[in-house]
Amino acid sequence: MGQVRQGSATTTHAIRAAIQRSHASLATLSRELGINPKTVAKWRKRATVEDLKTGPKEPCSTTMSAEEEAMVVAFRRHTLLPLDDCLYALQPSIPHLTRSALHRCLQRHGISRLPDVDGDKPKRQRFKRYPIGFFHIDIAEVQTAEGKLYLFVAIDRTSKFAFVRLVHKAGKMAAAQFLRDLIAAVPYRLHKVLTDNGIQFANRSCDTTAFEHIFGRVCREHGIEHRLTKVRHPWTNGQVERMNRTIKEATVKRFHYDNHDQLRTHLDDFIAAYNFARRLKTLNGLTPYEYICKVWTSEPDRFIVNPIHQMPGLNS
């Protein structure tokens, strides 16, 4: 099999081996082989006939300082976040960080691949694509030192925009009011909502009443299709179930709250940061509200108001 040499090489493996075996002077070998005496001296000193690797002996980043590289490595090892999530989290601190530079840095330190989780991974199925305006809604219980509260959570299936409310009682009137508040808060029209079969959202099958459930009536008044999950199939509403867990991990599972107002304030701050600042891989690096503004430019007929007017800042 032929040998692979550097493009500027003037010797073959056989010539290099002959140089290393010969006892002739450098000048003599240089004349006989027709090469530079420095080349003869170089190969005589070496114990191998292979070309050395080019590039720096200690690879390092050309765009990041040693401190920034150490920050990247520590962040990856501590959080075990995927590549894109690491990029979005680190760019505010390292503005010149690019995806390729981050990937090369992780490769140099041997942490470019996350450790495999034991067990068989279930096959993931893609969600059916819907236009914005399809919300998943659910209820969760939370605790403070004052007692128990109920958390209504809604998340858009497509834009991932989240909306929450804390209430003392989670009855059907509270659920209907939550839906009204959601409709008023979102800059586009809702066309579908998905809930479980709880009494807050639908009449029970054993009820004989002919009256329309108030939650369904609010849906009908606003032209919204109300869908229910299959009984004992909570994973059908998995998006909002996952959002419930995210909210709890960021609030009540991590901090102690002396009263309900403390939780309410922290929850509002977290949801604002999520909607307006958290860049999501599923949205190609956009925040939920950036994605909504992007849809506004291509499908303005779906909107009630210009979403740019609702962005936090000087115009809010």
* Predicted confidence (pLDDT) per residue in 61-79, tens digit: 778 888 999 999 999 988 8
- The pLDDT, as a whole number, for residue 1 is 45
26-33 vs 37-45: helix crossing angle, rounded to 10? 110
- The pLDDT, as a whole number, for residue 204 is 72
Sheet arrangement for strand 147-156: 162-167, 147-156, 134-144, 192-195, 225-228
Pairing relation of β-strands 162-167 and 147-156? antiparallel
226-244 pLDDT tens trace: 999 877 666 667 888 889 9
- The pLDDT, as a whole number, for residue 125 is 61
* Of 108, 146, 105, residue with least CA distance to 259: 146
- The pLDDT, as a whole number, for residue 118 is 53
- The pLDDT, as a whole number, for residue 314 is 47
Instruction: Give me the count of residues in the chain.
Output: 316
Question: Residue with structure tokens 């939650």?
Answer: 215
Whether the full predicted model's pTM is greater than 0.75, yes or no, is no
Q: CA dist 103 to 57, 111, 181, Å?
A: 20, 9, 43
Pairing relation of β-strands 147-156 and 225-228? unpaired
- The pLDDT, as a whole number, for residue 127 is 61
- The span from the CA of 11 to the CA of 43, in Å, is 10
157-193 pLDDT tens trace: 999 999 999 999 999 999 999 999 999 999 999 999 9
- The pLDDT, as a whole number, for residue 58 is 72
- The pLDDT, as a whole number, for residue 46 is 87
CATH number, domain 134-310: 3.30.420.10
Q: Which residues of the chain have pLDDT under 70?
A: 1-8, 54-56, 116-127, 205-210, 232-236, 311-316
User: What are the structural domain ranges in the chain?
Assistant: 16-45, 66-108, 134-310
